[in-house]
Structure 1
Amino acid sequence: MHIGDVEVLKVVEWQGEIAPAQTIVAGSPDGLWADNAAWLAPDHWNPETGGYRGAVQTWVLRSEGRVVLVDTGVGNHRDRPQIPLFDHLATPFLDRLAAAGVRPEDVDVVVNTHIHYDHVGWNTELRNGEWAPAFPNATYLIPRADQTYFDPRNAHRRPAPRDEREQLRRDGSLLVYADSVAPVLGRAVLWEDTHRIDGNLTLEAAPGHTPGSSVLRLASGSGRAVFVGDLLHSPVQILAPEHSSCFCEDPRQAAATRRSVLERAADNGELVVPAHFAGPGAAEVRRDGSRFAIHRWAPSEGPEAVPLQN
């Protein structure tokens, strides 16, 4: 699709069922899913199993003559003990990127909306037994707050894990930093508060999911969009933004940030583009009294550039 003068493509790395929906969107009631089953299924929810369905994908933006990638997925050949589903994943992601007309050397900017394993994986690839930048000509934009938070040298500053599962996540984050973040720091810009990429694209801090979680705003001509990363994992969080995901570092702050971003999107006509929505992947949001509703899913122009398959 085109938003103003910016071309937007979606390249899918993986999609499918991940875990029980009420585990992913913590505290969400049964009715929130069942009452909306007619449109949540099959892309976002499996009513037979109660499972959450989502996608891991990269948004490719062509803006002012440059190629910008928004988030880089899980990556191949990674040790990911914290989520066995994606441990040593092997997908033809780079081939899919090429099918969309993008070679690694064509990429000018890589945006990591935050540092979690499924947003930084293809920052690097394994070459001769070592992790190296996958996009050799790109500048990597990483929120400084996240780089500081997840840097192993600062691990002592983080709250102690509350249980074994949280400890596994903490240990996993060390692996993520080592194979997907540290190798690109020499090509990275660590930004704070806001960062303008070009005349169409601006990054803004949106903390809660992680300390450095961010959104990318697109404004071109009359077109508006906001790429929200993991502020939204499921469309039910548009209907009930008070429910944060189980992956949020600060669920309360994440909920407040999510509501603020949705308010601005609804008032300013910004297309909401999350990282993990399957199906169309983006939605127009409107106010519904004190809450929000999905007005319509984003239209696409022509066939999908890349087949949606595992």
Structure 2
Amino acid sequence: MSLLHPARTEPAPAPAWTVGDLVVRRVDEVELPAQTGPWLLPGATPEVVAAAPWLQPDFADADRVLRLASHTFAVAAGGLRILVDTGIGNGKDRANPAWHRLDTDYLDRLERAGFPPGSVDLVVLTHLHTDHVGWNTRRDGDAWVPTFPRARYLTSRAEWDHWAGTELEEPRRQMFRDSVHPVAEHGLLDLLDVPADGLEIAPGVALVPMPGHTPGQVAVRLTSGGATALITGDCIHHPVQLAEPGIDSHVDIDPALAGATRRKLLAELADTDTLLLGSHFPPPTAGLVRRDGAAYRLLAVPGTTGRPADGGTAP
């Protein structure tokens, strides 16, 4: 058994949150290895973690090392089935050894959550990084084909244009070859112009610009029945960035802009009832932003594992 690729275990039910008439489920792919945190967020030292004791035990381990995860949010909205980001993917050649040729039961988990691939209507790609696009495609013989054959795949035009105009290193070219270009070649990719106040893509589901980590990154805002939630993408990688909003990600393209985006978002969410759903937050994954001195903390809101009112099952 690889320490980077843990053995499969019987999955727990996909936790769910209700946002008015919308239902959001977290569909797990993998827990990321312990070395991810120090690499991704080098400013999140054990001393920083110790200064925010609310981070333990859920968001950091006993050694004050950050916990991070890869998962998809599956949203049932107005009869539509929507996936937000598709993780790392199986069987793909990746420079990161923890992501190289994964073999997980992600598709089984997705189906158990009520989202079999053939039922998915929309796939939102918050940005075009390797760990957010991998299950866009699956292997079919010698080819990579769309995993969700009847879905429209959505990303911002600003994101596409950035990477189209950038000289890519080979690992990123490989990612585009196996996980992005096949979707475009099958005519399933839509590039969206996302205004500053957001773009509704389905009833109660809107994309909101969150630039900095990448130029065209978006978050996903859910609104229904007076309730709101926000799926982060990578504008916030980990709850430690609430305790210390100045902590930047090692892979932010524009750290100054990413930091400004993060601070503005946290100030807007602080002490409101908007549920924050972290795209890399480990369980319990979701919570409410609360002011904590000069910074913030996350008041955890665990998901339920029973069936919400609409069942979340495929038609």
TM-score range, shorter chain: 0.7 to 0.9
- Residue of structure 2 in register with 1:189 after alignment: 190
- Residue of structure 2 in register with 1:219 after alignment: 223
Q: Distance in 2 between matches of 1:92 and 1:68?
A: 19
Of residues 131, 134, 154, the one that matches 1:118 is 131
- Change over 3 Å in CA distance of 1:20–1:133 after alignment to 2: closer
- Residue of structure 2 in register with 1:69 after alignment: 83
The secondary structure found in structure 2 opposite 1:45 is: coil
Q: Distance in 1 between matches of 2:266 and 2:157?
A: 24
Tell me by how many angstroms 1:304 deviates: 9.4
- Residue of structure 1 in register with 2:178 after alignment: 179
- Residue of structure 2 in register with 1:96 after alignment: 109
2:17 pairs with 1:4: no
Tell me by how many angstroms 1:198 deviates: 1.8
- Residue of structure 2 in register with 1:134 after alignment: 147
- Residue of structure 2 in register with 1:19 after alignment: 35
Q: Answer whether contact 1:24 1:52 (CA < 8 A) is retained.
A: no
**Which one-letter code corresponds to 2:69 in the other structure?**
A
**Which one-letter code corresponds to 1:96 in the other structure?**
R
Deviations 1:218-254 (A, max 9, x none): 1101211111111122111011111111121111111
2:295 pairs with 1:301: no
Q: Distance in 1 between matches of 2:263 and 2:252?
A: 15
The secondary structure found in structure 2 opposite 1:17 is: coil
Q: Answer whether contact 1:226 1:265 (CA < 8 A) is retained.
A: no
Q: Which runs of 4+ in 1 moved over 4 A?
A: none
- Change over 3 Å in CA distance of 1:292–1:42 after alignment to 2: closer
The secondary structure found in structure 2 opposite 1:88 is: coil
The secondary structure found in structure 2 opposite 1:189 is: strand
Q: Answer whether contact 1:11 1:96 (CA < 8 A) is retained.
A: yes
Deviations 1:67-91 (A, max 9, x none): 000110000011111x111100110
Q: Answer whether contact 2:201 2:207 (CA < 8 A) is retained.
A: yes
Tell me by how many angstroms 1:195 deviates: 2.5
Aligned length: 287
Deviations 1:196-236 (A, max 9, x none): 11220110111001111111111101211111111122111
Q: Distance in 1 between matches of 2:93 and 2:34?
A: 18
Q: Answer whether contact 1:21 1:45 (CA < 8 A) is retained.
A: no
Deviations 1:79-133 (A, max 9, x none): 111x111100110100011111111110000001101111000011111211111
Q: Distance in 1 between matches of 2:200 and 2:231?
A: 14
> Any stretches of 5+ residues in structure 2 without a counterpart?
1-16, 309-315
> Any stretches of 5+ residues in structure 1 without a counterpart?
159-169, 306-310
Of residues 32, 52, 69, the one that matches 2:66 is 52
Q: Distance in 1 between matches of 2:293 and 2:225?
A: 29
- Residue of structure 2 in register with 1:40 after alignment: 55
The secondary structure found in structure 1 opposite 2:237 is: coil
Tell me which moved more, 61-70 or 25-34. 25-34
The structure that is helix-richer by fraction is: 1
Deviations 1:12-60 (A, max 9, x none): 00014341634321323442112334x4334322333x53321100000
